[in-house]
């Protein structure tokens, strides 16, 4: 009798695992610094409220069955155990290690490496604007979590690169670059609302699109912006055109994805993540 019971338990395990491992989980669950963790929140009648590092977290129902939390992990998080809070209860998850390589860039404009006091004030003001935009958490549900590529072209500089400008280390690369020509139309990878437009010292012409519940895209270095503040964009709607404004060595499309105010690897959302 005992062998039969053991066999039945073994047969039951895959069913249980599949219930918490649907398409979204398989696509997005990359729990590394700069990645995404997907946690099972159960099958209650209403969406649980979840927070990570004091910030609200995206919660969706996977394939009409179980609630899942989709958690953005900052690049600064060290490998090891982390926790979210869901309806007052702590849920743990493990962050694995990931190596990010270096990138060395030479800039002719020395102001873009060591800005003057006047430009530092401008940069501080612009950073505050963008930080505020990243911290927004709207109630809308994202229309899709498998994103379209904003442009059709090869990936160039990946997310997370340790960057050195003229030999001096600066912040890691917070987005994903595509090698495409100037003037290429940039399309929204998912439906969303335009929440910030600017022309910034480092980022150049920039557009933020809020996809819902703290999931936000940022496109920068544009040559032209084709949207207005507050505009609702459908999936595939044109945001603007590729350029080289701000701190850029040439035309390319730079795309950031932010989740619960953590910049994460956009490659995860287009099925192009590399461990």
pLDDT tens track for 68-118: 999 999 999 999 999 999 999 999 999 999 988 766 555 556 555 667 888
Shared domain check, 111 and 87:
no
Structure confidence by residue, pLDDT tens digits, 164-192 = 544 555 567 889 999 999 999 999 999 99
Shared domain check, 235 and 117:
yes
19, part of any domain: yes
Q: Which pLDDT score, from 0 to 100, does residue 4 have?
A: 36
Shared domain check, 46 and 119:
no
CB-neighbour burial class of residue 161 (10 A; exposed 0-12, middle 13-18, buried 19+): middle
Structure confidence by residue, pLDDT tens digits, 192-246 = 999 999 999 989 999 999 999 999 999 999 999 999 999 999 999 999 999 999 9
Of the residues 95, 120, 139, which one is the last residue of a structural domain?
95
Shared domain check, 143 and 74:
no
24, part of any domain: yes
Query: When comparing pLDDT for 250 and 109, which is higher?
Result: 250
275, part of any domain: no
Q: Which pLDDT score, from 0 to 100, does residue 171 have?
A: 64
Shared domain check, 236 and 123:
yes
Q: Which pLDDT score, from 0 to 100, does residue 104 have?
A: 58
Mean pLDDT of 126-150: 96
Shared domain check, 216 and 178:
yes
The closest of 34, 271, 267, 269 to 158, measured between CA atoms, is: 267
Q: Look up residue 178 and give its DSSP letter.
A: E
172, part of any domain: yes
Q: Report the domain count for the chain.
A: 2
91, part of any domain: yes
CB-neighbour burial class of residue 15 (10 A; exposed 0-12, middle 13-18, buried 19+): exposed
What's the chain's average pLDDT?
Answer: 87
User: Please, which residues bridge with residue 200 across strands?
Assistant: 204
Which of these ranges, 110-119, 152-161, 230-239, 248-257, has the smallest mean pLDDT? 110-119
Mean pLDDT of 263-271: 97
Q: Which pLDDT score, from 0 to 100, does residue 105 have?
A: 59
Shared domain check, 236 and 108:
yes
214, part of any domain: yes
Shared domain check, 106 and 91:
no
Quote the domain boundaries for residue 261.
Answer: 102-270
Residues 7 and 17: their CA atoms lie apart, in Å, by: 16
């Amino acid at each position: 009798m005992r062998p039969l019971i053991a066999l039945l338990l073994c047969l039951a395990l895959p069913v249980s695992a599949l219930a918490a491992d649907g398409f979204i989980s398989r696509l997005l669950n990359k729990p590394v610094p700069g990645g995404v963790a997907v946690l099972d929140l159960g099958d209650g009648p209403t969406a649980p409220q979840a927070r990570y590092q004091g910030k609200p977290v995206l919660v969706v129902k996977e394939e009409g069955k179980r609630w899942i939390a989709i958690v953005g992990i900052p690049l600064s998080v060290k490998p090891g155990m982390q926790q979210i809070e869901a309806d007052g209860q702590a849920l743990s998850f493990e962050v694995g290690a990931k190596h990010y390589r270096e990138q060395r860039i030479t800039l002719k404009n020395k102001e873009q490496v060591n800005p003057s006091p006047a430009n530092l004030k401008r940069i501080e003001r612009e950073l505050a604007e963008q930080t505020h935009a990243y911290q927004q958490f709207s109630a809308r549900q994202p229309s899709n979590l498998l994103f379209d590529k904003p442009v059709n072209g090869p990936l160039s500089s990946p997310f997370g690169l340790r960057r050195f400008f003229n030999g001096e280390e600066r912040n890691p690369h917070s987005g994903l670059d595509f090698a495409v020509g100037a003037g290429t139309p940039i399309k929204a990878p998912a439906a969303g609302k335009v929440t910030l437009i600017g022309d910034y010292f480092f980022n150049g012409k920039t557009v933020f699109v809020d996809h819902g519940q703290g999931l936000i895209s940022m496109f920068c270095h544009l040559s032209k912006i084709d949207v207005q503040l507050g505009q609702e964009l459908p999936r595939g709607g044109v945001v603007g055109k590729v350029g080289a404004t701000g701190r850029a060595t040439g035309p390319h499309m730079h795309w950031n994805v932010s989740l619960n105010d953590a910049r994460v690897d956009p490659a995860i959302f287009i099925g192009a993540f590399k461990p």
